Amino acid sequence: MELKATSGEGIDSWREVILIYNAALKQVQTKIEILNDEFQHVHRYNPIEHIKARIKTAESIVKKLKRQGYESTIDNMVKYINDIAGIRVICSFTSDIERIASMIEKQRDIRVLAVKDYLTFPKASGYKSYHMIVTVPVYLSDRIVDTKVEIQIRTVAMDFWASVEHKIHYKFEGDAPEHIRNELVECARMVSDLDARMLQLNNEILAIIQEREKKDET
């Protein structure tokens, strides 16, 4: 499977396209890490457990273009594929997701193109996550290229479920038996309940700590 190199958007080779998307990925990842460090400094709390970053393979890009009915060219790849560069931000609690998304949106050189809120509106499979398509300027020696990056924000529990569901999807080539699909949906409900209970537990712990700190001050 190959991508045909054509002129357009200032990108005319696979090597250059990977260089640009890697640069965008590094920028966004660094920004998120700095925000996490600042949050720890100000609030003594890290909302982010860990960050995963990846560039989509040429094979995956070609398959996605074909599914969408487009010819496999670099122009089409840049125009129609939004998740070539992807970052997954894993946090402890559902309350952290909105907090992290808000911090990202406030970055001056990050422009949010689209949001998919699978927390409020989960997929039929049970999948839950918060997706943002953003652009960041990549400064080259002779030009600036606004480059798309997909950011996914989810809890540890959501990420575990999504990882297992992804493996099952590929094992059955997207056609898993109905009882397995139903079991995954039920597991997704259990994950949601777990997230809610862990958030409640964390809030109770924070309340106890704050009460103790107040008593110590008096």
Let me know if residue 190 belongs to a domain. no
Q: Which residues pair with 87 in a beta bridge?
A: 53, 151
Q: What is the pTM of this model?
A: 0.89
The number of distinct structural domains making up the chain is 1
Residue 102 within any structural domain of the chain: yes
CATH (domain of 81): 3.30.460.10
- Average pLDDT along the chain, 218 residues, taken 10 residues at a time: 49 82 96 94 89 94 93 91 97 95 95 97 95 96 94 98 91 85 95 97 91 81
Does residue 156 come out as left (phi exceeding 0), alpha (psi in the -120 to 50 range) or beta?
alpha
- Domain of 54? 14-157
| Identity of the amino acid at 37 | D
**CA–CA distance from 122 to each of 13, 173, 196, 197 (Å)?**
37, 21, 15, 19
Contact between 9 and 78 (Cβ < 8 Å) = yes
Instruction: State residue 8's pLDDT score.
Output: 47
3-class SS letters over 110-177: CEEEEEEECCCCCCCCCCCCEEEEEEEEEECCCCEEEEEEEEEEEEHHHHHHHHHHHHHHHHCCCCCC
Q: What was the pLDDT predicted at 144?
A: 93
The residue type of 155 is T
Alpha-carbon span 106 to 177, nearest angstrom: 44
Distances (CA, A) of 83 to 47, 86, 122, 212: 24, 6, 19, 46
Check residue 9 and give its pLDDT. Answer: 47
The answer to whether residue 202 sits within a structural domain is: no
DSSP β-ladder status, 130-139 and 48-55: unpaired
* Residue 76 belongs to a domain: yes
Domain-located, residue 113: yes
Cα(39)–Cα(35) distance, rounded to whole angstroms?
6
- How many residues are there in the chain? 218
Tokens of 184: 């995954």
Residue 42 lies in a domain: yes
Residue 122 near residue 162, CB atoms below 8 Å = no
Does 209 fall in a domain? no
pLDDT recorded at residue 154: 98
Does the residue 87 lie in any domain?
A: yes
According to the model, what pLDDT value does residue 200 have?
96
